[in-house]
């Protein structure tokens, strides 16, 4: 039997253009909002073309010691240069990047999951401590 988790790829974002990069403070105050930024291709640019693009990124939070993971948000990127004129002739392109504001009540790990239309699912993680 094949499981979805078996299909998720991981790599150092400094060497792999598909790995999501999560930027957030290493330590936050419980119950106070802070920013989490996620992008693709920070060190090595990812193509954003009709033929090769990031379709979406989902951000999750897994509290330390909790059995369950919670979805923070899903961010879709729908404009990749497609148009009636042809591939990569369109007037608009999206960049696989977002910023969101969250608060957590306990330490845990953020998980970003990104979908490349050619190279599949990619994941990265970032731990956050709570003071």
Would you please indicate which residues are annotated as catalytic (active-site) residues?
16-18, 46, 52, 116, 119
E-assigned strand segments in 26-83: 27-28, 34-40, 54-63, 70-76
Residue with tokens 């989490």: 36
Pairing of strands 34-40, 97-102: antiparallel
Residue with tokens 């731990």: 127
């Amino acid at each position: 039997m094949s499981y979805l988790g078996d299909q998720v790829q991981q790599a150092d974002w400094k060497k792999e253009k598909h790995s999501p990069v999560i930027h957030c403070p290493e330590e936050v105050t419980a119950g106070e909002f802070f920013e989490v930024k996620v992008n693709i291709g920070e060190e090595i640019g990812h193509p954003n073309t009709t033929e090769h693009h990031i379709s979406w990124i989902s951000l999750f939070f897994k509290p330390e010691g909790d059995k369950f993971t919670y979805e923070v948000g899903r961010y879709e990127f729908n404009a990749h240069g497609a148009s009636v004129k042809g591939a990569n002739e369109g007037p608009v392109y999206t960049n696989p990047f977002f910023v969101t504001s969250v608060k957590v009540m306990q330490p845990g790990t953020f998980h970003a999951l990104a979908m490349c239309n050619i190279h599949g699912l990619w994941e990265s993680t970032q731990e956050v401590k709570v003071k």
